[in-house]
Structure 1
Amino acid sequence: MADEHTLPDELRPGEEAGRPDDRIDDERHDEENRLKTSYVRSVVEALDAGDKGRVYDLVEPLHPADVADLFELVDADDRPRLASAITDLLSGEVIAELNDFVRDGMIEALPPETVAGIAEQLETDDAVQLIEDLDAADQAAVLAEMEPADRAAIESALAYPEETAGRLMSRAFVAVPEHMTVGDLIDYLRDTDRGDLPTDFWEVFVVDPAHKPVGTCQLSWILRTPRHIALADVMKRDQTLIPVTADQEEVGNMFQKYALISAAVVDESGRLVGQMTADDVVHIISEEAGEDVLLLSGAGDGDINEPIRDAYTARVRWLVANLATASVASFVISRFESVIAQMVALAVLMPIVAGIGGNAGTQTLAVTVRALATNQLTASNVWRAVRRELSIALLNGATVALVIGLAVGLIFGHPMLGAVIGMAMLTNIVIAGIAGVLVPLTLERLGADPAISSSIFVTMTTDSMGFLVFLGLAVASGLVG
């Protein structure tokens, strides 16, 4: 093993971007590697004192991702002052790591030439994220300040729909013809005069004369293969190709299913135009998972940096929709007014039936939406999934019905009331299980996102049916007249 002291600075372990190996348990980070409150407070106090030198000294040792975290942790009013104090530390890496809302606010405050300079430091996919949310006039002003090659790459990416592989892919990749030998490829990669090769890559794409991918070679294979061997003899011909129009959720599923590190992106004619890499997909998977949860709850983007007006607009629509569906349950109750008046215990117990049914429906709904998002649930296994959830609902319903039936019979001293609520609970949980599967499946068949509106319909079903079954059984059983 080589002596650490003989290694160049950029290869020494324990150092990153000039930072010593004290990232954990230092004066800036806590044990979970988050910026300490005391450190953030020190930066803000220096800003308030107008001591830009002190601010710079505090921030300079941070990794770009930590600088981005610092911007998100300080108040919105402090961010312009912080940016002014550490201008030359605002690298493209920092901007790329910023929360979308924080970044958009900062970019809007910067002149076009500054934004263009930052964008030119970034990979194309990161530069696109920086520019895509600007309004048309600001976007045009920034692009006008960029170098022609960079501008053309970004304009090409912006031509694809949002959240597609064409918009998200990296245009920096290595592609070589299949007539090369391993030695030719190594010499090609080591040619120091070439300035068009990406800094980081994991595999080399082999293309035919029409620039269509015919295979791929991992760097580990190339390094272990004799120089005289032809690439055509060592490359892997079976590869996963991603269409430029593929949705980012589909891309994430492909990487997860086939355990990919990187994959070629091809246009409509099959030509190689870019690549997706695992670091891009990690963000996609995280974003999609969080997005589905937030859509189910109606919480909008669910970001604490989201403007209040945007959060209000997103959430109030959901609440108004819930208000409309809740009126269905209220209508059902109004039909049994006289029944409830005869036995107050019914009014006391109704929310239990509806509430437990709603929880059961939410459980099934969450499982179904996730299965749809990850392609686990398809037309081939729909009815098996329905039978599975029905079986689970019957078991859950029987268990809960037995518990609530015995408890109500003992507490109220009325065995028939216990039997009625037990039967109503079993029925409503079964209904909830069926609705939790069929509602999102139906919405998907209709072309709607099942994560957006499924919970409204499932909740309406479990509430209204819970009340109807419980009060209807009370009447049918002769419990009330």
Structure 2
Amino acid sequence: MSEETDLAVPPPRGTEHERDPIEVPGFVEAVAGAVETLNVDALRELVADLHESDLARLLEALPAEDRPRLVELLGSDFDFTALTELDETVRVQILEALSTRTVVEGLREIESDDAVYILEDLDEADKQQILAYLPTPERAALQRSLDYPEESAGRRMQTEFIALPPFWTVGQTLDYIGETEGLPETFFEVFVVDPTYRLSGSVPLDRLLRTRRNIKLDEVVTPDRHVVQATDDQEDVARVFERYNLISAPVVDESGRLVGVLTVDDIVDVIQEEADEDLKALGGVAGDEELSDNFWYIARSRFSWLLLNLFAANIASFVISMFEDELQKMVALAVLMPIVASQGGNAGTQTMTVAVRALATRELRASNAKRIIMRELLVGLFNGVVFAVIMAAAVFARFGIADLGVVIGLAMIINLVAAALGGILIPLALDRLKIDPAVSSGPFVTTVTDVVGFFAFLGIASLWF
């Protein structure tokens, strides 16, 4: 592909029509052509104005072998922050294909929290090899963050921040901010610390700009009410940000010394990740499963869930076999039986979804559990009675057997009440046992609704007829 052809597709601009650059006809092909022909000038022209998230989508759209080549060709013009927007599988594949020097230079140009996010998925040997090439201060900061537990505030925090002594004046502070290189690209306050870096509080930038220059920081400092421990779980921290509408929060170690800062853009990512994990878990999918994963990994990760569901189905099948004689006497029982189980399964899933989400957000607690259980019980009872009447009428109209309508109506009430109780009590019990209810509730609730539904319908039928 010639240079003229490479540049035939203009770089995407910010128009309403072309807001998503990946959808611009011929754009991805033009980038791939520039990579294939090693046309660095054309490549830079094409991707120069791309946002980091758009650059990540471009990488995913390219053939696997072209991804690391694009990074190498762009050199210092490639924003390594784009790698944080990629699926883990794609990101690791790119990093393993890049030279150590390229990775080191790229990591030095981005914020520490993004660098940690990129490094933490690598094998320990690759991680240490990259860290070894970094200057000592940067290596120590990244290693300290990596030493914190996964999914903790310490892993998410940014170690670049502005911390100043309390005796500095506002004028000194403003001059320092305006004249010093290497400060964070984005910050919302100045932290005030003692000589041992113990946090006294912070001064928001708006207050700093509205205060006379001769005023000392300790006169305008505000003690931080929402200080985050570096070992705190990221989901708990996200909940604090959400509850108190925080923009940023200081992070301290076990000694109370300031070691980093969390900003709202990091927390938005956490909220998205946690919601994504919960949604996948409810569907029986591993929280780390991604579209870029190969079929073997996905098959293995889903196998255990399907095996558990198969076990539950066999229990339900055993219950059905107990009433084999009744099924042979009346074919209508076999026709209607799945309706009761299906309705109970749907009702149980509704209650379970609400309960699991409420547990994840800490809205469902011991203090209000009894009230929520009673509410769900009443909802199940009400819906059971309503659908019992509907099904009784429908069965009588279809089969002309009034008693059969009564049987399925009673079974419907029993199963919807059982579904409501199972949908909330099972997640509560699993949470009490320190088992993630999002991952484990589904098969248990399905088993309860199937077994109770089949047993109630066929049991009542065997007694009635």
TM-score by length of 2: 0.91
> In 1, Cα distance between the equivalents of 2:45 and 2:450?
59
Query: C-alpha distance in 1, partners of 2:351/2:438?
Result: 13
Question: Of the candidates 16, 39, 42, which is equivalent to residue 29 of structure 2?
Answer: 42
> Does residue 243 of structure 2 align to residue 257 of structure 1?
yes
Q: Deviations over 1:320-349 (max 9, x none)?
A: 111112111111111111111111111111
**Which residue of structure 1 aligns with residue 398 of structure 2?**
411
Task: Say whether 1:217 aligns with 2:208.
Answer: no
- Are 1:308 and 2:306 matched, yes or no? no
Among 97, 110, 128, the residue aligned to 1:122: 110
* Closer/same/farther in 2, CA of residues 24 and 345 from structure 1, 3 Å limit: farther
Identify which of 289, 292, 316 aligns with 1:329: 316
CA contact (8 A) 1:40 1:74 kept: no
Instruction: Please give the per-residue CA displacement for 1:176-203, whole angstroms capped at 9, x wherever unaligned.
Output: 233333333323323x2x3453221001
Q: Alpha-carbon deviation of 1:453?
A: 0.8
In structure 2, give the amino acid aligned to 1:442. A
Q: Name the SS for the 1:35 alignment partner.
A: helix
Alignment of 1:132-281 (within 5 A): 132-190=120-178, 192=179, 194-281=180-267
- What is the distance in 2 between the residues matched to 1:160 and 1:331? 49
Of 341, 351, 357, 2:328 maps to: 341
Higher deviation after alignment, 50-59 or 242-251 = 50-59
Give, in whole Å, the separation in 2 of the partners of 1:373 and 1:346.
Answer: 40
CA contact (8 A) 2:56 2:83 kept: yes
Matched, 1:298 2:293: no
Q: Which runs of 5+ in 1 are unaligned?
A: 1-18
Q: Distance in 2 between matches of 1:85 and 1:179?
A: 49
Give 1:275-290 correspondences, 5 Å limit.
275-290=261-276
C-alpha distance in 1 between matches for 2:48 and 2:398: 67
> Quick one: distance in 1 between partners of 2:63 and 2:426?
42
- Report the AA paired with residue 270 of structure 2: I
1:466 is matched with which residue? 453
For the residues of structure 1 that align with 2:285 and 2:34, how far apart are their CA atoms?
34
Please state how far the C-alpha of 1:80 moved relative to its aligned partner.
Answer: 4.1
Question: Structure 2 vs 1, CA of residues 304 and 421 (structure 1 numbering), >3 Å: closer, same or farther?
Answer: same
5 Å matches for 1:65-104?
Answer: 65-83=53-71, 85-104=73-92
In 1: Cα distance, 2:30 partner to 2:370 partner: 59
Name the CA distance, whole Å, in 2 between partners of 1:122 and 1:238.
27
Deviation at 1:423, TM superposition (A): 1.5
Change (3 A) 1:49 1:188: closer
SS at match of 2:26: helix
Q: C-alpha separation between the residues in 2 aligned to 1:240 and 1:261?
A: 11
Tell me what 2:373 maps to: 386
- Tell me the CA shift for residue 398 of structure 1: 2.1
The 10-residue stretch of structure 1 (468-477 or 295-304) with the greater mean CA deviation from structure 2: 295-304
Kindly indicate whether the alpha-carbon contact (under 8 Å) linking 1:332 and 1:468 is maintained by their aligned counterparts in 2.
Answer: yes
Q: 1:291 to 1:341 in 2, by over 3 A?
A: same
What percentage of residue pairs aligned between the two structures are identical? 44
Q: Distance in 2 between matches of 1:272 and 1:83?
A: 35
Displacement of 1:42 in angstroms is 2.7
- 2:362 alignment partner, one of 368, 375, 378: 375
Distance 1:224 1:84, change over 3 A: closer
Which residue is 2:4 aligned to?
none
SS in 1 for 2:249: strand
Cα deviation per residue 1:302-331 (whole Å; 9 max; x = unaligned)? 421122222111111211111112111111
Contact preservation (8 Å) 1:216, 1:239: no
CA shift for structure 1 position 128: 1.1
| 1:34-82 Cα distance to aligned partner (Å, 9 max, x none) | 6216234533662697473555543334223211111112343443454
SS of residue matched to 1:65: helix
| Distance (Å, rounded) in 1 between the aligned partners of 2:212 and 2:440 | 58
Larger deviation: 100-109 or 212-221? 212-221
**Ranges in structure 2 where 5+ consecutive residues have no aligned partner:** 1-9
Partner SS for 2:122: coil
Letter in structure 2 aligned against 1:79: R
8 Å Cα contact 2:384/2:417 also seen in 1:
yes
**Separation in 2 of the partners of 1:37 and 1:184?**
49
Q: Determine the structure 2 residue equivalent to 1:14.
A: none
Give, in whole Å, the separation in 1 of the partners of 2:34 and 2:460.
68
Equivalent residues of 1:361, 1:462 under 8 A apart: yes
**AA matched with 2:126:** D
Q: Which residue of 1 aligns with 2:385?
A: 398
Query: Letter of the aligned partner of 2:375 in structure 1?
Result: R
Note if contact 2:68-2:98 (Cα within 8 Å) is conserved in structure 1.
Answer: no
Aligned residue identity for 1:222: L
Match of residue 9 from structure 1: none
